Amino acid sequence: LFLDEDDFVDLPHPRKDRKKFLSRLTSLVKDEKMQWNPVKKKMMPWINLRKLTSMYGGGEHSAYRWREHPTSVQKARHSPGPLRHTYPPTQDPLATAKGNSLMSVIQKWSHGPPYYDKMYSLQRLLVTVPLAFPPINKEVEPHTYFTKWKFIYQETFEEEDGDALRDLLVRAMRKAKYFLDPIKFPKDFNKKQVLLLKTIGNIIRDREEATLG
């Protein structure tokens, strides 16, 4: 990724010396021009060093090891698309669900443990909507319509606040509402498929009103 005038830059291996690796990488990033980020729609560095450090730690005494960030939910569930959320498997709302009714699954997706009475943030709901879809959700039959969901990535909202975060949430909700509009539902949807999407739509609209007003 980074080049000198004549050769590749030699970076220390992160597993051998993470501290030196990050120090050298920081210097290289500062020397590079800012790049347009089409997701956040602004100029940003090649590498988000703050995010890198928060995910993997910044030194030899860090609480984190240098490893791939957890995406085992995606791999284990075989979700229809690139679910790039980074919630640990222990926080997978379906993995901790007790009871297998459709409404129970939805409750576990939308509300946090242990009592599932506090709704997750709007950001998290938008990112994890596909976790409530079949084939992950065994209570609802699969349908090709579910694969048409436009994935919203967790990275979109990270390090944003104020008006910038609000703008991102408004745009994400616009996409979600389009997909969740009953007028768009296929004519061959069964009752459970309709109920699932209508309930998800009601939940995220309620959360939108509480979050954005």
- Per residue in 71-104, pLDDT tens? 333 333 333 333 333 333 334 444 444 445 999 9
Q: How confident is the model at residue 57 (pLDDT cuts 50, 70, 90)?
A: low
On whether the CB atoms of residues 72 and 81 are closer than 8 A, the answer is no
What's residue 111's pLDDT? 94
- Quote the CA–CA distance of 98 and 50 in Å, as a whole number: 37
- Quote the CA–CA distance of 37 and 35 in Å, as a whole number: 6
Q: Kindly list the distances between the CA atom of residue 115 and the CA atoms of 87, 90, 98, 119, in Å, as whole numbers in the listed order.
A: 19, 15, 11, 11
| Average pLDDT score over residue span 10-18 | 77
| Average pLDDT score over residue span 147-174 | 87
Prediction pTM value: 0.59
Segment 102-119, tens digit of pLDDT: 999 999 999 998 889 899
On whether the CB atoms of residues 169 and 125 are closer than 8 A, the answer is no
Worst-scoring range by mean pLDDT, 28-42, 143-157, 188-202?
Answer: 28-42
Residue 160 above 70 pLDDT?
Answer: yes
- Quote the CA–CA distance of 106 and 119 in Å, as a whole number: 11
| Average pLDDT score over residue span 159-168 | 84
Check residues 203 and 18 and name the one with the higher pLDDT. Answer: 203
